[in-house]
Homo-oligomer: A and B are copies of this chain.
Amino acid sequence: MSKVHNFSAGPSILNQGVLKKAAQAVENFNNSGLSILEISHRSKDFIAVMDNAVALVKELLEVPEGYSVLFLQGGASTGFLKTILNFMKQDGTGAYLNTGTWSKKALKEAEKLGKLNMVASSEDKNFNYIPKVYPISTNDNYLHITTNNTIFGTQIKNIPVSRIPLIADMSSDIFSRKINISDYAMIYAGAQKNLGPAGTTLYIVKDSLLGKTGRTIPTMLDLRVHADKGSMFNTPPVYPIYVSMLTLEWLKANGGVEWIEKVNQEKADLIYNEIDSNSIFEGTAAIEDRSNMNVTFVLTNPDAQADFDKMWKEAGINGINGHRDVGGYRASIYNAMPKESIQVLVDIMKELAKKYDLANS
C-alpha cells in the first residue's frame, strides 16, 4: 500500500512508532499476558502509566509547583463548562476573546449559564485575524482565549498580558511551542491533535485559584475533586491516556517542545512560502496571525479544483478539505506530521501552478 499523508484536523496523525507500541499494548501490555484494555485502573501497571503521563507533561511544559495536571473525560466542550463552574463567581462575569467557532461555543456557554463580557471579536471578517488591542477589566473573573483556531487557521502569537486569571483552550496547539505556564490560571486541551487519540482532555490548573466561586459544583465538574484524586476519582479513559503518554515519550526522546517548535516552524514555512509564491493559491488568514498547525488556503483559479483534488488524492493525501463551515482547503500539520508529507503536497501545488501558468501564458 502506498503511504498515506494524513492532514486530518483532528483526530489526527500520530507518530508511527507510537502507533506500533499502542497496538502492541492492546495485544499484550507490558508482557503481562493481558491487554491494556482489560486491566484495572488501580493496577500498578496503569498507575505507572498515569504517573508517567503526568510527569512528562510537567517536564515538557516546565509546569511549576502549585499546578495540577489532570487527564479527564468530556472533551474541550466540557472544558467550557468547567471554566465557568470553577472560575466564574456566582454573580460574576467571564471575559472572552472571540476568535472562531470554538471560542464562540465557549462564550455561548458562559452566556447561557452566567454573565459574558466579550472583549473583542474577529467575526466581522469571518475570523481571519486575531484581535490584538482590547480592554481587560479587573471586574471580570477571568479572560478566556482559544490559542489556535483550527477551522480558520489563525493562532495567537502574543499571549495577552492579563491581570485577571487567564484561561486557555489549547486543544489544537498544546505541545507545539514553548509556553509559560505561570501566565495561566488554567489550560485545557482535548488530546486528539498533538497529544493522543480522542477520549481524554488535559487540564493544567493552578490549585490556589480553585474553590473561590461560591458555587455548588457538581462532583464530576469540580476540578478540586479530580486534583485531590490524581485523575482517579472515577475510572479514567485508560487507553487514550496510555497513547498520550507514548506520544509525550516520543516528544521528549526527540528533544521536547523546543525541538518541535523549530520543526513546526520549518514545516509551516515550507507550505506558507509555497502558498505565497504560487499564483494559484492564496492563504485565508491574516499573515501575522497564521497558524503553524492548520494552514487554510483557497484556489485563485476555480477551474483548477478538479485537477488539484485528483492530484492530491492520487498522491495518498488525506484530510485537506476545508471545514464544512468555510470550504477551501486546510492542511493540518500537527507535531506528528513529517516534513516529507508536506513536501508531497507542496510538490503537487507547484505542479498544478506550472500546468495552469503555462495554459495562461
Binding site for B on A (CB under 8 A): 1-4, 6, 8-14, 19-20, 22-24, 26-27, 31-35, 37-41, 43, 73-78, 80-81, 109, 112-113, 190, 192, 196-200, 216, 218-221, 233-240, 243, 316, 318-319
Assess the B198–A41 pair: CB atoms within 8 A: yes
Report chain B residues within 8 Å CB of A22.
Answer: 26, 35, 37
Assess the A4–B198 pair: CB atoms within 8 A: no
Q: How far is the CB of A81 from chain B (nearest CB, A)?
A: 5
Q: How far is the CB of A243 from chain B (nearest CB, A)?
A: 6
Assess the B4–A33 pair: CB atoms within 8 A: yes
Assess the B1–A19 pair: CB atoms within 8 A: no
Assess the A27–B38 pair: CB atoms within 8 A: no
Q: How far is the CB of A103 from chain B (nearest CB, A)?
A: 15
Assess the A78–B6 pair: CB atoms within 8 A: no
Partner of A218, one of B8, B81, B198: B81
Assess the A38–B236 pair: CB atoms within 8 A: no
Report chain B residues within 8 Å CB of A220.
Answer: 74-75, 77-78, 80-81
Report chain B residues within 8 Å CB of A38.
Answer: 6, 8, 11-14, 19, 197
Report chain B residues within 8 Å CB of A10.
Answer: 40, 235
CB<8 Å pairs between A and B, sample of 6: A12-B38, A14-B37, A23-B26, A78-B220, A80-B219, A80-B220
Assess the B239–A199 pair: CB atoms within 8 A: yes
